[in-house]
Amino acid sequence: MGRRILFGAALALALVGCTRGISSTPGDAPNLEKWVAEVKARPAPPLEPLPVMQQFETFEYAAYSLRDPFSTAFTDSDSGSGPRPDRARRRQTLEQFPLDSLDMVGTLGHGAGVVALVMAPDKVTYRVRPGDYMGQSDGRVTGVFEDRIELVELVPDGAGGWLERPASVALEDQ
């Protein structure tokens, strides 16, 4: 309560101080009008001259017959040997998710017939066997073990070809 009164008093004092600077006598108006007239009568300061526009030299591009530096070195990306993604293959459900978003949560069976259980970001658990595909880089499952899933991904090599890259998904610790 005391702070409010103190704040109100400080505000009133500030307002009174502001009104003292403003003269309310009619005798000051002619002085103000005289000063405004003097300021208007002064000549305007000279303007800076406009900058001189620089003429640019024209250039004619004459390298149409040379190789485009932004195109790949290989003109036919399907030529050559090496691994290639199978574009005619039907995509499987787990290929729509990035590999690091898939979690191995367990296995079913034993020995050569083991099947991995993988939980996707959509919270659905899928069965994975060797030969299945998962991840967004054409990852083909090469082996299912009790503690991991091993796969081989196909990644572009930057020169029009593809490289095989091993990857794995480990069993998630609970």
Whether the per-residue pLDDT at 140 is higher than 90: the answer is yes
Q: Phi and psi (nearest 5°) for 15?
A: -70, -40
pLDDT tens per residue, range 103-128: 999 999 887 789 999 999 999 999 99
Structure confidence at residue 86 as a pLDDT band (50, 70, 90): confident
Spatial distance between the Cα atoms of 167 and 21, rounded to a whole number of angstroms:
80
Whether the per-residue pLDDT at 9 is higher than 90: the answer is no
Instruction: State the average pLDDT for the chain.
Output: 83
SS3 28: helix
Whether the per-residue pLDDT at 160 is higher than 60: the answer is yes
Spatial distance between the Cα atoms of 163 and 140, rounded to a whole number of angstroms:
13
Q: What is the predicted pLDDT for the residue at 26?
A: 60
Kindly write down the DSSP assignment for every residue of 44-79, as one continuous string: PPPPPPPPPPPPPPP-----TTSPPTTS-S-S-TT-
Q: What is the predicted pLDDT for the residue at 124?
A: 92
Spatial distance between the Cα atoms of 75 and 71, rounded to a whole number of angstroms:
9
Spatial distance between the Cα atoms of 79 and 109, rounded to a whole number of angstroms:
43
pTM for this entry: 0.53
DSSP 96: G
Whether the per-residue pLDDT at 21 is higher than 70: the answer is no
Q: Which residue has the tokens 């991991």?
A: 148
Whether the per-residue pLDDT at 17 is higher than 70: the answer is no
Q: What is the predicted pLDDT for the residue at 30?
A: 83
Q: Which residue has the higher pLDDT, 139 or 67?
A: 139
Longest dimension (CA), the chain: 109
